[in-house]
Structure 1
């Protein structure tokens, strides 16, 4: 079977323009003899559902779009859609072939309920597709969990099409698809199922999620048969042979995964898209000499071009050492795009920052440019909010240590950032005096490791301390994160580049309780071990709860003992149990939690 992937960039809900592009790709695919052309998950509807009040209208227009497409598509196509099931969005895909339409996921569920599951077990409404098509049996996976089901159960499929619903996330290598095959999960999926794995990546910015493309085709033994580039539109065509046993005659060498380079490219794509969504072709940024502000200017120029970027340069501020002017000259901004803001009269650094933001707001208003900020995830989590005129914060979902890695990567391409700016790292005052953590950069890396363990991986204080030590620092970092919930803006407009944002990790602001690190003997598992009659290794039954000291506590713990089976590998798991399936994050935790050893790559191990 010859399969094609139409890796195209679209705008969610722009049905007319998208339908034209889809039809054009189908004609190009038909000319190359493609038996099945697959479109990315975000092509028509994006990756996030619309408001409930708008679902009916969207569905009606989507139906009209699909009706027209059936006459325009030049070859059989698999078209992903977001459908509504009992008020909940459910991804599905329509197999359009010769005027017939089959919703593959819904059909699989109905067939399973009617005849039993493919694995010979009890019928289920969660069955996955097994579609005879062009001499092969086709499976379609919509999530990592679906891939796990194909891995673990006896589905008889030759080809699995993975319609990735995930945006790129630094902490999930698999989200980069073909760009990170050596670090991702997909070669293991191919070997586990004995099937060809066709990874289909969306391309573009959908809501705030960044999708990098990088579609690929893997042979059942794990060799790379074909791959599409990152951050570019492409039509990928590959022959898959269900009877082949390998090796491939001309395998493709997987590229070396460079997370900082891909992140920079994704941020540039997201910045360009979001600036356009805000109704302007240009952006303006305030430069105070700090690394984040300088890096924001570099990103804006890379994404929009120097003529579409305006700079407000602080003069006389606490960080003013001529750096901002040097960067402006290195980026070749036109003189008319540069505004000098004299903040020397400000009584302190906070006042100087406020004056600079006021001038940025004035420039944005007068020029119509979108004001950019330089907040990062570390600052949003641990530092009080300050006055900001920014409409868009390109780094708000990146930790401060990640910004350092991006700056060094960008300087390796061309040295536009002053070396002194890279050496000055602002450390949140919650750990500013922790000299035993080493240099300021080491302290930032440790802080970011604690934050990512807590936010992305949802590990408890006790788990983090058990793995990292420094109990006082860990408790202070998480405590500050929670204390600033009410101070932190509910949402800032920013590209999403992690599997869990600070907004998604927001806790109840009225909660007075705060967690504390606990030794192993005080952990729930140890207490259940003490009181449960089913404890592993128990040689005699425990005393009845009524005869024990603290009978009421014993009664409660006996009751909790019934939860032992449910807690295994679940919410009571430790750090080691959190890896792999069932771990946290928007992407299902398919990466690995931060390792115990310090950082050996360009990014902190988020």
Structure 2
């Protein structure tokens, strides 16, 4: 019988952990309970909630698939046992389909042979203590950070479920990004609502792209679209949440905040709460904070350790860490050499005081002298020795005390190889600024200080760390700009070459000086080996170093 009131839908943007099928199942139970208390008829969770996302090659392990399925079935039983059996719970997990004979592909371009059960990216409807419906994702992305075509088999069925008298179509993430497929068949199915389960990673500017896409699909199916997204950090990806509902006319009807777990409740045919989008610098800063927080928490660490030099990169990294896990859980080590300026040492101490960090000073002079006594060195060799001694010190403290070492290097340095491999700027387990260019580092530092000032708080970053010229301080009077073009110019060229794949000819046609272009391209091309060894860091741009950009280390191609 149709319900007397419109269906009430809850979108649960939750923070899962890959592989923690029991913990993720508990999340489903907890947030389903909240949805029921809010009067929801249907609660929709993100893509692959039970397993976490992305699961990569875990999908290929039958033992993992069995564990996820067992957790899913226990969740269905637990929902009924708690009196939530009437609530429709739509949750993502890993599924499995039986082998098909070789030569009988599901899709025309899918010629992979099958000799065993194959995993699928699945949405599952739980109701009345059992699995009521399953739907396998049709379109499997195989670009950027995604490798789903390699590990999953595609589905081909349509999924429409009844919820409180409403016909609800179900699709998963990429199914709305590609034309055709299940969405193109929803109009004929006469749905009242299309729900989309998503694990859509954050990148700056992506929010409006999602809403505009959903608006197009809403017009296509002539029904509202409810989009629920994952939230949290997972290795080098950050999921920003930002779930929303658009009407059949494309109007935004309800939205959830970014970077936090949230339950967005919306009634079919009505309007819900609306959260305005964040401004760009705050959005990127919060993505970095969440990425570091997720990595620390999900890998069992309680504290982080980094070298603090008084420079802008380590200052911003320390501020991010303090916001992510609390300043009392940040250990900053100043490691002055004979070339370290007094103002740099003062700035490092000031930074630690501002964020409430555990601050230590460990001069490196005696250790450097010990090396010099055994091995004659000068010039770059001596400079790199100082940097690497600092890296050794940090790893020793980490081993002794159990902190996660974090690297403060930025994208501009990583792109050009302007970093000593295995030094304090590149060593460790996570690099919060890995996908942030130098120009943006300054912008984020100013944004964070301005935010603190507006709130009546002490700005975390010393002003002199922002305003002084950057230097590695490995020789007298050294400045970054002795070896690199001005950062504003450098970052423009890097953006064109790295993120937009423009070659030398295109860069010259845009008016960049040939000497600058040739220097930058040479630096980038020669540094791939360093980037391959760099720690993980949160992706915040359209193209980050890592799984986004895969180039050979041994490579003789040079731009003509």
Q: TM-score when scaled to structure 1?
A: 0.70
The alpha-carbon distance between structure 1 residues 332 and 508, as it changes in their structure 2 partners (threshold 3 A), is closer
| Counterpart position of 2:68 | 62
Checking the alignment, whether the CA contact within 8 Å between 1:40 and 1:202 is kept in structure 2 is: yes
Match of 2:256 in 1: 228
Distance 1:434-1:271 versus aligned 2 partners, 3 A rule? closer
The one of 36, 47, 50 equivalent to 1:44 is 50
Contact 1:450 1:477 in 2 (8 A): no
Q: Which residue of 2 aligns with 1:331?
A: 355
**Structure 2 vs 1, CA of residues 193 and 462 (structure 1 numbering), >3 Å: closer, same or farther?**
farther
Distance 1:255 1:468 in 2: 38
* Aligned counterpart, 2:147: none
Instruction: Judge conservation of contact 1:227–1:236 (CA < 8 Å) in 2.
Output: yes
Q: Residues 102-138 of structure 1, C-alpha deviation per residue, up to 9 Å, x if partnerless?
A: 22237x89xxxxxxxxxxxxxx975654555544443
- SS state of the match for residue 488, structure 1? helix
1:408 aligned partner: 446
1:527-538 alignment, distance < 5 Å:
none
Alignment correspondent of 1:419: 463
User: Does the CA contact (< 8 Å) of 2:439 and 2:487 recur in 1?
Assistant: yes
1:445 paired residue among 491, 494, 514: 491
Deviation digits for residues 176-222 of structure 1 (CA, Å, limit 9, x no counterpart)? x6xxx5xx644454445432121111122223321122212222223
> Of 498, 510, 516, which aligns to 2:554?
510
**Map of 1:585 onto structure 2:** none
Aligned to 1:21: 27
Compared with structure 1, are the counterparts of its residues 478 and 173 closer, same or farther at alpha carbon in structure 2 (3 Å cutoff)? farther
8 A contact 1:288–1:319 mirrored in 2: no
Pairwise CA RMSD: 3.4
- Contact preservation (8 Å) 1:160, 1:196: yes
Shift of 1:298: 1.2
The alpha-carbon deviation at position 361 of structure 1 amounts to: 2.4
Residue in 1 aligned with 2:230? 202
Q: Structure 1 residues 146, 372: CA separation in 2 closer, same or farther (over 3 Å shift)?
A: same
Aligned positions of 1:86-235 closer than 5 A: 90-98=120-128, 99-105=130-136, 129-131=159-161, 133-144=163-174, 146-149=176-179, 153=184, 155-156=186-187, 157-170=191-204, 172-174=206-208, 185-191=213-219, 193-235=221-263
**How many angstroms apart in 1 are the aligned matches of 2:386 and 2:121?**
49
Distance 1:189 1:479 in 2: 44
Match runs of 1:348-427 below 5 Å: 349-383=383-417, 384-388=419-423, 389-414=427-452, 415-424=459-468, 426=470
Give unmatched runs, 5+ long, in structure 2.
1-6, 98-113, 140-153, 369-377, 453-458, 473-477
Secondary structure at the aligned position of 1:59 is classed as helix
- Give SS of 1:237's match: strand
Q: How many residues align?
A: 478
- Determine if contact 2:50/2:93 at 8 Å carries over to the other structure: yes
Report SS of the residue matched to 1:149: coil
Q: Secondary structure at the match of 2:136?
A: helix
Q: 1:475 to 1:82 in 2, by over 3 A?
A: farther
| SS of match in other structure, 1:5 | strand
Structure 1 unaligned spans of 5+: 110-123, 242-247, 517-606
Cα drift, residue 163 of structure 1 = 1.8
CA distance 1:218–1:317, shift in 2 (3 Å): farther
2:17 pairs with 5, 8, 11, which one?
11
Post-superposition CA distance 1:13-33 (Å, at most 9, x none): 222232223123223323333
